[in-house]
Structure 1
Amino acid sequence: MVDGNSSLSVSAERRLQELGIQLPAAPTPFGTYVEALQTGNLLFLTGMLPVVDHKPKYLGRLGKELDVDAGRDAAYTAALSALAAAKQYLGSLDRVSRVVRLGVFMATSGDFFDQPRVADAVSDLFRDVFGIEKTSVRLVIGVASLPLGMPIELEVIFEVGE
């Protein structure tokens, strides 16, 4: 983990290098929409899914076909796609001035209650990349199903500067 006290002097791009994180190629749409859209100083990302090379990394529901660890990895994978989409759109993650909102939607069985622990995989990554002072508000919701049978979908809103 990157020390939160030094985060003001270290850029997000530099933190990625220090953490040894290689971003995947930015995701491409599964339908008729765009991956990122900016209005004013807010960058909205489309629902980010746990895909690798445009294929689902995980299928199923948490608490049924998948456990907490698989859910955390799926969430982390989707978060890497979010970072890749933002970087492609902005040119550099250093333009992100704040993570405004993180929505973590999970396909779950009816008796799965560990949603916050799964969502922390995303929150922890964003904290480590952008710094503790840019931590977002968060919404965590369990649902019956998500697109293409995947277990996780992220909603991400970044505030951007010049």
Structure 2
Amino acid sequence: MSAVEAKLAELGLTLPEVVPPLAAYQPAVRSGAYVYTAGQLPMVDGKLRLTGKVGGEVTADEAKELAKTCALNGLAAVKSVIGDLDKIKRVVKVVGFVASTPDFTGQPGVINGASELLGEILGEKGVHARSAVGVAVLPLDAPVEVEFQIEIEG
């Protein structure tokens, strides 16, 4: 078991199976020393945990939890490309999208779910630059979507 997966277990978390692509793309690709993930939805066992808009049908706290699920799915996608999460040198950037009502302005707090989890799991390697963007709609009416850019060893 890798040190990263041991930390996940310590937190009571497990790495899920890679979410199969919903269209014509790969869950993650490697280019040189970087891995780029596709946008990860909060899928659990092939289904979205919640649907709808944040600030409407979905609360900010629920969406923050969904962002954590997106982060776990992203780590699974990264592992599918590099084989061992201990090869992560640094999370360079996280981009989070929040499908929200027009008056909702808490997108950064929602995406903190993913950012904070990456910090808990990876420590200093999980500290990253980030964008948190409000959008009108996401695939399958998902409330949150997260993607990573990760630098890896060798």
TM-score (norm 1): 0.89
Give 5+ residue unaligned stretches, structure 1: 1-9
Q: How far did residue 11 of structure 1 move?
A: 3.4
Moved more, 33-42 or 10-19: 10-19
Cα root mean square deviation, aligned = 1.4
**2:101 partner SS:** coil
Deviant stretches of 4+, over 3 Å: none
3-state SS in 2 of match to 1:87:
helix
How far off its partner does 1:133 sit?
4.6
1:76 aligned residue? 68
**Following superposition of structure 1 onto structure 2, how do residues 101-112 of structure 1 map, counting pairs within 5 Å?**
101-112=93-104
The alpha-carbon deviation at position 12 of structure 1 amounts to 2.1
Moved more, 114-123 or 136-145: 114-123
The two structures have a TM-score, normalised by structure 2, of 0.94
Alignment-derived partner of residue 3 in structure 1: none
Partner Cα distance (1:57, 1:46) in 2: 19
Q: Does 1:144 align with 2:136?
A: yes
Do structure 1's residue 38 and structure 2's residue 30 form an aligned pair?
yes
| Aligned counterparts of 2:39 and 2:99: Cα–Cα separation in 1 | 14
**Hey, what does 1:154 align to over in structure 2?**
146
Size of the aligned set, in residue pairs, is 153
Native 8 Å contact 1:48 1:154 kept in 2: yes
1:119 aligned partner: 111
Name the SS for the 1:131 alignment partner: helix
